[in-house]
Structure 1
Amino acid sequence: MFGFLSDIGISRKLNEDYVGAYEDELKKIYVVADGMGGHNAGEIASKIAVDSTLDYIKNLKEFENLENILCKAIKTANIDIYNKAKVNSSMAGMGTTITACLIVKDRLVIANVGDSSCFIVKRNNITKITKDHSLVQQLVDSGSITEEEAVNHPNKNIITRALGTNEEVKVDLFTMSTEGIFKIILCSDGLTNVVNRHEIYDIIIKNNNDDACTKLVELSKLKGSKDNISVIIFEGECENDRDYTK
């Protein structure tokens, strides 16, 4: 069972995040999107991103190339947002991040555009799979600032890649086996801006998915997150009796 929660947070007047999931006997798809704050219709862009991605995948019956399928789904969502903005001036420039995970049997593929994140939790560790498409990440990569300086950088929320702002979009893809993976977390930066990965690990390892989502959102607000906060947590390897708490 997956857990999810999207919260407006303590500072915003509108929740521009949107989350969604679809599961059946053949596949599982989970998506989180964070509409671009300060842009027109960010909440519309994030909803289109999630709904379009799910709609593309949920009716498919064959999954020979998971990377190609998820990439096409997100590129379709990109065009849907872009075209919607073209015909409605009040939505001009709208955009959103997206991070998604598609699981078929024991294979999973993660895709991202922007700075929403995916983490995987194993028995003794948590690993961030995605890499932010942001100005601050570019500064870190170039050696201009350190990881520690990036945490409180004033331009932390400036992203360099988004869905819907251009007719074409580049999608990062990460493929792996579910073997040995306890949980997978997708989240918006309203969580990761204030809650570190060790805190995320500690909460996830000690709680069921629904309770972990609630506790992560509560901790984000307690630590003063100024953004909307969204989290989806779901299973990796399907071993119901595996004990990861020891």
Structure 2
Amino acid sequence: MVGILSDIGLSRKLNEDYVGTYEDDLKKVYIIADGMGGHNAGEIASKIAVDSTIKYINNLSEFNDPETILCEAIKSANIDIYNKSQENSSMTGMGTTITACLIIKDRLLVANVGDSSCFIVKPNDIIKITKDHSLVQQLVDSGSITEEEAVNHPNKNIITRALGTNITVDVDLFSIDIKDILKVILCTDGLTNVVSKHEIYDIIIKNNNKDACNQLVELSKMKGSKDNISVIIFEGECENVSRDYTE
């Protein structure tokens, strides 16, 4: 069972996050996008990102090179957003993050642009797969600030890469054996800005996917998240693991 939830949060008047999933006998697709806050039409950009990526993948009949397919699907969505932004001055500069998962057979492919996250849960660990394309991450990478200082940095929401702001975009891609994974989590920074990965792990490991999504969103709001909050949780294929909850 897939858990999926997108919440406007405590402070915003509009939900600029957008989430989507698609499953059939050949593939599974899970995508989360966060329209750029403070930019025109962020909610339009995030919806196009998700819908266009899924449409591109669904228009294909063969998946011999899934890595290329996922990257090209996101690049196609980027062009769709960019072209849409040129049609109307009210949408000029619109953009969005995207983090997408494509499962083909036993491979989990994860692609991202921006600072929405993908985590994998193993029986005794949680690991962040994606790397944020953000100003703060650049400062951490250069050694200018520590990971601890990054948590409350005033510029933590400034991203350095997004869909739709240019005609071309670079996409990061990761390939993982899904048989080693218990759960996969996609989330926007409305969650990760206030909830630690250890708190995420504790909630996910003790609950079914739907309840975990609800609890993570509620915890984010309880801790004062000022952004929209979106979460997708789905199963991996890690075997021989006992679960205390009932799906």
What does the per-residue CA deviation read over 1:89-145, in whole Å, with 9 as the maximum and x for residues that have no partner? 110000000000000110111000000000000000000000000000000000000
1 CA distance for matches of 2:124 and 2:61?
Answer: 36
Which structure 2 residues correspond to residues 157-236 of structure 1 after superposition, within 5 A? 157-236=157-236
Q: Which letter does structure 2 place at the counterpart of 1:170?
A: D
Q: How far apart, in 2, do the equivalents of 1:154 and 1:245 lie?
A: 39
1:74 maps to a residue whose letter is: I
Task: Please list the CA deviations of residues 165-222 of structure 1 after superposition, one character each: whole Å capped at 9, or x if unmatched.
Answer: 0000000000011112000000000000000000000000010110000000000000
1:55 is displaced (CA, Å) by: 0.6
Task: Output the amino acid matched with 2:74.
Answer: I
Q: Identity over aligned residues, as a percent? A: 79
Displacement of 1:245 in angstroms is: 5.2
User: What amino acid does structure 2 have at the position aligned with 1:242?
Assistant: V
Map 1:109-148; keep pairs closer than 5 Å: 109-148=109-148
Displacement of 1:242: 3.4
Runs of 4+ in 1 over 4 A off after TM superposition: none
C-alpha separation between the residues in 2 aligned to 1:238 and 1:80? 37
Aligned-residue offset at 1:66: 1.3
Does the aligned pair in 2 maintain the 1:123–1:244 contact within 8 Å?
no
Gaps spanning 5+ residues in structure 1: where?
A: none
**1:81 corresponds to which residue?**
81
Is 1:68 aligned with 2:68?
yes
1:35 matched residue in structure 2? 35
Alignment TM-score, normalising by the size of structure 1: 0.97
Q: Gapped runs of 5+ residues in structure 2?
A: none
Relative to structure 1, the CA distance from residue 53 to residue 144 in structure 2 (aligned partners, 3 Å threshold; closer, same or farther) is same
- When the two chains are superposed, the root-mean-square deviation of aligned CA atoms in Å is 1.2
Shift of 1:61: 2.2
Aligned 8 A contact 2:18 2:34 in 1: yes
Cα separation, 2, equivalents of 1:62 and 1:114: 28
| 2:13 pairs with 1:10 | no
1 CA distance for matches of 2:198 and 2:116?
A: 18
